[in-house]
Homo-oligomer: A and B are copies of this chain.
Amino acid sequence: MRFDDAVAAYRSRGYKITPQRLAVMRALVGDATHPTAAAVVERVRRDFPFVSAATVYRVLEELVALGEILALDLGNGRMRYDPNTSEHAHLVCEVCGRVEDVDWRLAADVLPPDRRRGYEVSGVRVVFNGRCPVCLEGGDGGGSASPASR
């Protein structure tokens, strides 16, 4: 997502440009931490203390629908949002829940047609699970750190 593109996308659909929408967009541009909705709410409130969480949820949904951000369901009950809409995979630490982008292109059509079972494939999500450098160095064996689970 680029800020101006997102604003243009709103304009082109006749949606109003409100301070709340601008604040959510500002909170997301250039962010590579894959925040949860709650984290976006928190960040928006730094500039705009009384936004309603419902509004943030609604704006996030809009941005996904506009194709400006990606909604990632990485397997722990909370949605995460990614302003990087280019084709890439994700690395998820199964200990601390950290999420990172991996520049690893995989065209949807790597799935041979005879394996598509009649589906018209429009996209692919690739999530690598593992342990991040920090968690590897810290505790080893079991699950120590907060697993970012629900």
| Interface residue stretch chosen among A1-9, A15-23, A40-48, A108-116 | A108-116
CA distance A124 to B116 in the complex (A): 19
Considering only residues 108-134 of chain A, those with a C-beta below 8 Å from chain B are 108, 111, 115-133
A132 vs B118: C-alpha distance when bound (angstroms): 6
Q: For residue A75, give the distance in angstroms from its CB to the closest CB of chain B.
A: 4
Report chain B residues within 8 Å CB of A93. Answer: 119
- Distance A102 CA – B76 CA, assembled complex (angstroms): 23
Interface residues on A, range: 35 or more
Report which of B100, B117, B136 forms a contact with A100, defined as CB distance below 8 A.
B117
Tell me the nearest residue of chain B to A133, going by C-beta: B118
A132 touches B119 (CB 8 A): yes
Known contacts A75-B125, A104-B111, A124-B127; 5 additional CB pairs below 8 A are A91-B119, A93-B119, A117-B133, A120-B130, A124-B129
Name A's B-contacting residues (CB within 8 A): 71, 73-77, 89, 91, 93-94, 100, 102-104, 108, 111, 115-133, 136
